[in-house]
């Protein structure tokens, strides 16, 4: 199993830090490290901006910190992008768009059980980036198919780069906008989304997974062709637990669940403690066990992480770092309790 389980730790990449060294230290404190995304350090480090690198039609204003799309610019730049489609360096994240990524690649990561990268997914990117008519580009039938192919190419290139540092590297496709598919107002039906995402995942090499903090249609998500699902179980335990059949199917095919249980928001974190978080998580697991998903399987195919990322806290980056420390302590407590080596 290239993506390890056994309640090892990881986290989502967006962090509030303005100091690269501090952010890297926190990321490296977990079992499965990742390269941090630091939008407070530079707008280039914003997850949407990083995903937009070399995408034709993008209008990036670094002074105003805006990311837009122009169809005229798309048409003008499209042929140039196609001509570079076999150039791996063109599709990887450049030093301009992430100094952190390249600092991460300079490290010796061969002794880790795995490492992880990430890129903003096409659904969230397409919802967030607006064209000249203030319309999400996800709704443009002439742009959307290319956008899915472009993002798949970028994910594959990054995964290949990371596997040179550690053969167990895997990718998160970050999709905070995924839950909006299931809104009647989205204008993008779940049927169309499934068709697009099935095609998208068929273009992406494994191991691959989705991370999101929201509350989508879990049955829809668990039945996509992916290897890892990272979720905020702290907020969504009750509704996630209703998808027992899909959870079992996902685990039976070898999927890994990343249980995001430790809050990283200042006020919510202050209300929690190690024993309470362990109790919350074990309550969920025991309920699933009673419904036919063996506890051993849950533990073997599970990772522990913070519940969400958090860019704005009263104490800056400190609560996020405390959440990382709590995640490690929780992992150690549960691994000891269940005698996981």
Contact 93, 53 (CB under 8 A): yes
Cis peptide before 207 (omega within 30 of 0): yes
pLDDT digits (tens, 9 = 90+) for 263-281: 999 999 999 999 999 999 9
Q: Is 22 helix (H, G, I), strand (E, B) or coil?
A: helix
Average pLDDT score over residue span 57-75: 98
Give the predicted TM-score (pTM) of the model.
Answer: 0.95
| Inside any domain, residue 1 | no
Cα–Cα distance measured from residue 256 to residue 302, given in angstroms and rounded to the nearest whole number = 6
Average pLDDT score over residue span 129-152: 95
* Alpha helix ranges (H) inside 120-170: 122-128, 144-163
Which residue range forms the structural domain that includes residue 259?
A: 8-337
Q: Is the pLDDT of residue 182 over 70?
A: no
* Highest mean pLDDT out of 85-89, 160-164, 174-178, 184-188: 160-164
| Inside any domain, residue 114 | yes
pLDDT of residue 187: 67
Q: Mean pLDDT check: name the lowest of 109-118, 194-203, 223-232.
A: 194-203
pLDDT digits (tens, 9 = 90+) for 101-117: 999 999 999 999 999 99
Which band of pLDDT confidence, cut at 50, 70 and 90, is reported for residue 205? very high
Contact 281, 259 (CB under 8 A): yes
Residue from 312, 317, 265 nearest 22 by CA: 317
Average pLDDT score over residue span 174-181: 82
pLDDT of residue 104: 98
Between the alpha carbon of residue 251 and those of residues 9, 31, 210, 283, 332, the distances in Å are: 18, 21, 15, 19, 23
Average pLDDT score over residue span 161-187: 84
Who contacts 299 (Cβ-Cβ below 8 Å, separation ≥6)? 5, 6, 7, 285, 334, 338, 340
| Inside any domain, residue 122 | yes
pLDDT digits (tens, 9 = 90+) for 19-51: 999 999 999 999 999 999 999 999 999 999 999
Q: Is the pLDDT of residue 305 over 60?
A: yes
Q: Is the pLDDT of residue 137 over 90?
A: yes
Cα–Cα distance measured from residue 141 to residue 148, given in angstroms and rounded to the nearest whole number = 11
| Inside any domain, residue 180 | yes
Which band of pLDDT confidence, cut at 50, 70 and 90, is reported for residue 216? confident
Q: Is the pLDDT of residue 139 over 80?
A: yes
| Inside any domain, residue 85 | yes
pLDDT of residue 186: 57
CATH code (residue 180): 3.20.20.210
Q: Is the pLDDT of residue 162 over 80?
A: yes
Which band of pLDDT confidence, cut at 50, 70 and 90, is reported for residue 184? low
Total number of domains in the chain? 1
Contact 39, 14 (CB under 8 A): yes
């Amino acid at each position: 199993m290239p993506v390890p389980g056994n309640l090892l730790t990881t986290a989502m990449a967006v962090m509030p830090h303005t100091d690269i060294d501090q952010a890297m230290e926190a990321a490296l404190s977990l079992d499965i490290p990742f390269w941090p995304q630091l939008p407070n350090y530079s707008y280039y480090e914003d997850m949407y901006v990083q995903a937009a690198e070399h995408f034709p039609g993008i209008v990036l204003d670094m002074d105003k910190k805006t990311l837009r799309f122009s169809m005229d610019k798309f048409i003008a730049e499209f042929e140039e992008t196609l001509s570079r489609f076999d150039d791996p360096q063109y599709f990887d994240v450049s030093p301009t768009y992430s100094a952190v990524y390249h600092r991460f690649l300079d490290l010796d990561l061969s002794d880790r059980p795995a490492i992880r990268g990430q890129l903003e997914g096409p659904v969230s990117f397409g919802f967030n980036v607006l064209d000249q008519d203030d319309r999400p580009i996800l709704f443009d039938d002439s742009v959307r198919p290319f956008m899915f192919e472009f993002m798949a190419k970028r994910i594959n290139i990054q995964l290949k780069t990371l596997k040179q540092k550690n053969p167990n590297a895997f990718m998160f496709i970050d999709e905070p906008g995924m839950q909006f598919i299931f809104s009647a107002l989205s204008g993008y039906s779940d049927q169309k989304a499934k068709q697009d995402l099935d095609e998208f995942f068929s273009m992406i090499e494994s191991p691959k997974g989705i991370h999101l903090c929201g509350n989508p249609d879990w049955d829809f998500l668990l039945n996509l062709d992916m290897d890892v699902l990272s979720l905020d179980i702290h907020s969504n335990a009750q509704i996630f637990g209703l998808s027992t059949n899909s959870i079992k199917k996902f685990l039976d095919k070898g999927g890994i669940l990343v249980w995001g249980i430790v809050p990283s928001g200042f006020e919510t974190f202050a209300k929690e403690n190690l024993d309470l978080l362990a109790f919350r998580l074990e309550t969920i697991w025991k309920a699933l066990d009673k419904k036919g998903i063996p506890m051993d399987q849950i533990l073997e195919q599970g990772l522990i992480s913070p519940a969400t990322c958090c860019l704005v806290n009263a104490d800056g980056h400190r609560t996020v770092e405390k959440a990382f420390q709590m995640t490690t302590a929780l992992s150690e407590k549960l691994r000891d309790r269940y005698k996981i080596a």
